[in-house]
């Protein structure tokens, strides 16, 4: 029977209980947070006007002095563009701050649509890139976008993860907490205070921005309650090198020139020289890399961490996530994780509605103090296939255990075997480094012996086999020349539909229609182009990889020339992942030399002989050795599949914002 039109009446008791619940949520919040907008059912609501919001710029003193070419020392101030609720300021309510510190606001833009900051004729900020301001300011937050030192309207120099970078953002957190000085202009004496904030700060950002969040958290700065690093670096050495092997052309000095302001280009020749001299392309560990290694300082992190990463990110590889995550776990940091199957892509463009909702609840809890249960929700959300997600209460799962698998010789022209039984003494396999081939070529020929790689596969699996975390491969190899690079990859041999991470969008397609997330003004729209998964049908998937320079077998302090004919042992770390090899598929380990498009070649082109009896792969298997035994029980060797498609990696990589 149809319902009558008209107003639905809510029982008096229900309305009273709802109001009481909202009041209790406010009263339960920590000091300062209770002044923010009240929650309804533990969630902040858009009760403030975005159109009337206060928009201003403050220049914060970083505590660094830098000498210009003329010789005078000048205090370095960084520009902070702020948007915050006017009604909260007028009523004396103090609000927390969501902060994104970035070098990209004028050179390159942020997000899938490369949004840049814009200003009116008086220099007041108009457009704040990304949706954070549109969505969160009406809900009782301020949003602060920081120009890192040497970029856009900030003083100082770009030093790519060093003291200028980190103190740019840390000083702003200190200013918001009343511990640093801010000014109403770039050079003037008039001070600006942050008496409108609770001092609770959450940092967020993708790529370099998320890296800054990691670095600032590693200082232990007071007031930083949470960080949300997306595709972020945890150690800058590992961005440019993989165990001594060079990964990208150029170095941090060229990246600094890419983002710096015209003033910095003129005034920062000394910093440019320090970056060039401190980062030689030989892969040696230097003091410059020591300063930019945030993993070693993970014990200082007080903030909670919500980490997001694309498992096929070949720009900021998941090694950064894995080592950071493990260090945080060892130090008992509260944390949450999302893993997507895309490349270097923001979750806003992978799983938009769920992302905005989850981020909303995360900030409500850690910045406003609302008891909404987000910290008790499953720790991990993992994309298994395009738009198909699973959750885990703990990541990696508690039953995960490092499981030793051994490569062994095969028969005829087929691949070697991969199993739990070590190879007989004296067993070996050889390949010749071919810098023109890479992981997609090797995976495509996994079932055939080819000159450029050695491949080892399991039998077809009787059950699904899940790898969760970081792997490592201990190799003993004998080179024929004085230098050599090594690559190891894990491959799922079997058909699948995946996000096409090797395509231009790295797993997404951007459409023309838009969806809106918050309030808009004529100069700052809350509406963004919708995205969908860009998929590919493949016959095999490379899902983890690692690289190394054999000349650094003894450590990263110094590259050593190799003695041809002498065996060397090296443990090669593979990037973190969470991948299920389905029943009927096979797991493959491939060992090769230069990974084309990802690794710079060595000085020579060696032939490498792998001692299989002294080679072991330690894989993080959920269920450990017993799970592998069950998955491979009764299996028979597979017939070669004769080819098929593998997603090809880009032929060259550059840093992507």
Condensed to tens digits (0 to 9), the pLDDT of residues 557-580 reads 999 999 999 999 999 999 999 999
pLDDT grade, residue 101 (50/70/90)? Answer: very high
Q: Give the closest residue to 385 by CA, choosing from 535, 231, 542, 509.
A: 535
* pLDDT for residue 26 is more than 50: no
pLDDT of 299 strictly over 80? yes
| Domain boundaries, given as residue ranges, for the chain | 29-392, 400-497+538-632
Residue 545 and residue 247 in contact, taking contact as beta carbons nearer than 8 Å: no
Confidence class for position 202, pLDDT limits 50, 70, 90: very high
CA dihedral angle for residue 123, residue 129, residue 135, residue 136, rounded to 10 degrees: -70
Q: What are phi and psi of 458, to 5 degrees?
A: -80, 175
Q: Are 439 and 452 in contact (CB under 8 A)?
A: no
Hunting for tokens 């850690």 — which residue is that? Answer: 366
pLDDT of residue 1: 41
Q: Would you state the pLDDT for residue 250?
A: 75
* pLDDT exceeds cutoff 50 at 654: no
Could you tell me the pLDDT band of residue 639, with boundaries at 50, 70 and 90? very low
Given the candidates 1.10.3470.10, 3.30.930.10, 2.60.120.260, 3.20.20.70, the CATH classification of the domain at 400-497+538-632 is 2.60.120.260
Reference 233, options 259, 257, 207, 253; nearest CA is 207
pTM confidence score: 0.92
Q: Does 3 score more than 80 pLDDT?
A: no
Catalytic residue IDs = 207, 313, 344
What is the mean predicted confidence (pLDDT) over 386-405? 98
Q: Which two tokens stand for residue 143?
A: 């949003």
Per the DSSP assignment, residues forming a β-bridge with 110 are: 115
**Average pLDDT rounded to a whole number, residues 293-297:** 98
Which residues lie closer than 8 Å to 7 by C-beta, 6 or more apart?
Answer: none
DSSP assignment of 595-623, as one string?
-TTTS---SS--EEEEEGGG-EEEEEEET
Q: pLDDT at position 66, please? A: 85
Asked if 544 and 528 count as a contact pair (C-beta separation under 8 A), the reply is: no
Higher-pLDDT residue of 276, 5: 276
pLDDT of residue 471 exceeding 50, the answer is yes
In terms of Cα–Cα distance, which of 524, 499, 497, 521 is closest to 111?
A: 524
At residue 245, the 3 state secondary structure works out as: strand
pLDDT of residue 42: 77
**Which of these, 260, 592, 364, 619, lies nearest to 472 by C-alpha position?**
619
Range in 24-28, 124-128, 150-154 with the lowest mean pLDDT: 24-28
What is the third-level CATH fold of 29-392? Rossmann fold (3.40.50)
Among 7-21, 304-318, 411-425, 627-641, the minimum mean pLDDT is found in: 7-21
**pLDDT (mean) for 512-540:** 98
Answer yes or no: are the C-beta atoms of 465 and 419 closer than 8 Å.
no
Chain segment 571-628, per-residue pLDDT in tens: 999 999 999 999 999 999 999 999 999 999 999 999 999 999 999 999 999 999 999 9
| Mean per-residue pLDDT of the chain | 91
Q: For position 637, what pLDDT does the model report?
A: 52
Q: Between helices 252-259 and 269-278, what is the axis angle to 10°?
A: 150
Least Cα distance to 315 among 253, 252, 231 occurs for 231
pLDDT class for 383, splitting at 50, 70, 90? very high
Q: Do 400-497+538-632 and 29-392 fall under one CATH topology? A: no
Task: Please compute the mean of the pLDDT values over residues 28-34 and round it to a whole number.
Answer: 39
pLDDT band at 8 (very low <50, low <70, confident <90, very high): very low
């Amino acid at each position: 029977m149809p319902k009558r039109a008209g107003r639905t009446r809510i029982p008096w008791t229900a309305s009273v209980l709802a109001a009481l619940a909202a009041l209790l949520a406010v009263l339960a919040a920590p000091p300062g947070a209770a002044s923010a907008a009240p929650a309804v059912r533990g969630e902040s609501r858009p009760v403030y006007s975005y159109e009337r919001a206060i928009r201003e710029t403050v220049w914060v003193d970083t505590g660094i002095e830098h000498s210009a070419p003329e010789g005078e020392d000048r205090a370095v101030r960084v520009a902070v563009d702020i948007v915050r609720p006017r009604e909260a300021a007028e009523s004396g309510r103090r609000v927390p701050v969501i902060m994104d510190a970035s070098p990209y606001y004028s050179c390159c833009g942020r997000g899938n649509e490369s949004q840049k900051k814009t200003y009116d004729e008086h220099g007041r900020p108009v457009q704040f890139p990304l949706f954070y301001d549109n969505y969160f300011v009406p809900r009782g937050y301020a949003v602060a976008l920081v120009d890192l030192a040497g970029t856009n309207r900030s003083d100082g120099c770009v030093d790519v993860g060093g003291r200028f970078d980190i103190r740019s953002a840390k000083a702003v957190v200190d200013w918001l907490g009343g511990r640093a000085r801010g000014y109403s202009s770039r050079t003037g004496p008039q001070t600006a205070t942050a008496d409108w904030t609770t001092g609770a700060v959450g940092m967020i950002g993708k790529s370099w921005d998320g890296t800054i969040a990691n670095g600032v958290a590693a200082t232990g700065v007071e007031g930083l309650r949470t960080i949300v690093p997306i595709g972020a670096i945890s150690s800058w050495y590992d961005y440019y090198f993989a165990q001594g092997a060079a990964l990208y052309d150029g170095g941090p000095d060229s990246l600094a020139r890419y983002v710096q302001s015209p003033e910095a280009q003129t005034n920062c020749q000394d910093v440019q020289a320090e970056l060039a001299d401190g980062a030689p392309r030989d892969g040696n560990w230097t003091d410059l890399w020591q300063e930019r290694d945030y993993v070693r300082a993970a014990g200082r992190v007080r903030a909670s961490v919500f980490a997001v990463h694309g498992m096929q990110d070949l720009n900021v590889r998941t090694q950064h996530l894995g080592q950071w995550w493990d260090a945080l776990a060892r130090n008992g940091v509260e944390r949450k994780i999302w893993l997507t199957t895309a490349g270097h892509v923001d979750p806003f463009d992978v799983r938009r509605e769920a992302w905005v909702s989850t981020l909303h609840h995360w900030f409500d809890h850690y910045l406003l103090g609302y008891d909404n249960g987000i910290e008790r929700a499953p720790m991990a959300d993992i994309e298994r296939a395009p738009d198909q997600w699973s959750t885990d209460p703990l990541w990696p799962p508690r039953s995960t255990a490092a499981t030793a698998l051994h490569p062994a010789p095969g028969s005829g022209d087929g691949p070697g075997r991969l199993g739990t039984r070590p190879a007989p003494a004296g067993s070996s396999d050889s390949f010749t480094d071919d810098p023109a081939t890479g992981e997609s070529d090797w995976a495509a020929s996994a079932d055939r012996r080819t000159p450029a790689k050695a491949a080892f596969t399991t039998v077809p699996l009787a059950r699904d086999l899940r790898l969760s975390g970081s792997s490592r491969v201990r190799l003993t190899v004998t080179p024929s020349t004085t230098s050599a690079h090594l690559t190891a990859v894990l491959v799922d041999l079997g058909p699948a539909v995946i996000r096409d991470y090797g395509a231009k969008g790295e797993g997404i397609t951007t459409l023309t229609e838009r969806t809106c997330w918050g309030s808009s003004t004529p100069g700052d729209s809350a509406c963004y182009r919708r995205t969908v998964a860009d998929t590919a049908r493949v016959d095999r998937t490379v899902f983890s990889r690692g690289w190394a320079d054999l000349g650094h077998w003894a450590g990263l302090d110094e590259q050593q020339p190799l003695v041809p004919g002498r065996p060397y042992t090296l443990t090669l770390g593979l990037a973190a992942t969470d991948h299920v090899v389905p029943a009927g598929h096979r797991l493959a380990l491939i060992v090769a030399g230069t990974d084309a498009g990802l690794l710079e070649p060595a000085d020579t082109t060696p032939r490498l002989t792998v001692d299989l009896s002294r080679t072991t792969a330690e894989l993080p298997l959920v269920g450990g050795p017993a799970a592998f035994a069950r998955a491979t029980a009764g299996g028979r060797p597979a017939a070669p599949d004769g080819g098929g498609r593998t997603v090809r990696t880009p032929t060259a990589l550059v840093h992507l914002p």
